[in-house]
Amino acid sequence: MNDGLMTPSNTSQQSHHQNAERLAKVVHEGGRTMPEDRPLLVCKPRKIESWRIFKIMSEFIEGFDIIRRYSLAVSIFGSARSTLGDESYKQAEELAKKLSKKGFAIVTGGSSGIMQAANKGAFEAGGASVGLNVNLPDAQTYNPYLTERFVFDHFFVRKVMLTYASEAYIYFPGGFGTLDEFTEIVTLVQTKKIRRVPIILVGRDYWEPLLEFIEKTVYEKHKAIDKGDMELYKLVDTADEAYEYIIDNVSC
């Protein structure tokens, strides 16, 4: 008997119920008021913009609806530029083709460069080739090798989709976006927010300087990570090495 007092469990349930009602109201209002030309969020908003919450929610729903269709998938990241030399693109295409024939859907950002090479390999192998793109001021175009595609307005929603889409993550040489996706996945595995999955870095010439920095500076000098954290990813040099590692380590 609690003499009418609210237990922590009841308080939590009541809070969740109130938040759900508030969210439903905001989402409904947002769907009604979403402007045709949506202004950028360049600083902290001074009020709740119902239409923006509605747009974010709708992107999450559509994104999860896409990725749930593929029981086995690999996300491939890398530069959108054509500046890496033919070998990187050849390796990405070859790896995607081999994985597609093994039943993996290939998920990329859907644009050019390494992404296009990977989608091309999957498409030509007759596999699922998925592109999750994002609206940018300098518009990214879709590559022509996609069997399914979706464009996001919000980078963070797209990142969640790419993060939870796959049973393995492959990183070819790339820019800030590729590095961001790599550290994001490693952090999620390190902190046990997602289960451990194969994380493969392709191209020793590109990745070794970064991995040396992590080992010598981040680990040895500053003790900012544990030694075991450097075992969360695998460095390889060829598509064949990456393929064998994935086949040996994908657990589902």
Per the domain annotation, does 3 fall within a domain? Answer: no
pLDDT at 252: 66
Does residue 12 lie in a domain region?
A: no
Check residue 161 and give its pLDDT.
86
Q: Is residue 16 part of a domain?
A: no
Residue 22 domain-assigned?
Answer: no
Look up the domain containing 103 and give its range: 64-247
pLDDT of residue 146: 97
- Domain assignment present for 194: yes
Tokens of 85: 């030399």
Is residue 35 included in any domain, yes or no?
A: no
Q: Give the model's pLDDT for residue 188.
A: 93
Contacts of 168 (CB under 8 A, 6+ apart): 74, 75, 104, 197, 198, 199, 200, 246, 249, 250
In a domain, 33, yes or no: no
Is there a contact between 208 and 178 (Cβ–Cβ < 8 Å)?
A: no
Check which CATH number belongs to the domain holding 114 and give it: 3.40.50.450
Contact (Cβ atoms closer than 8 angstroms) between residue 246 and residue 198? yes
- Is residue 228 domain-resident? yes
Q: List the pLDDT tens digit at each of the 252 positions of the chain.
A: 555 554 555 666 666 566 667 667 766 676 777 677 766 665 666 667 788 788 888 888 888 888 888 989 999 999 998 787 889 999 999 999 999 999 999 999 999 999 999 999 999 999 999 999 888 766 568 899 999 999 898 888 988 888 788 999 999 999 999 999 999 999 999 999 989 999 999 999 999 999 999 999 999 999 999 999 999 999 999 999 999 999 999 976
Give me the pLDDT at residue 204, please: 96
Q: For residue 246, what pLDDT is reported?
A: 97
Cα–Cα distance, 70 to 225 (Å, whole number): 34
The total of structural domains in the chain comes to 1
In this prediction, residue 112 carries a pLDDT of: 93
Q: What is the distance between the alpha carbons of residues 173 and 87, in angstroms, rounded to a whole number?
A: 11
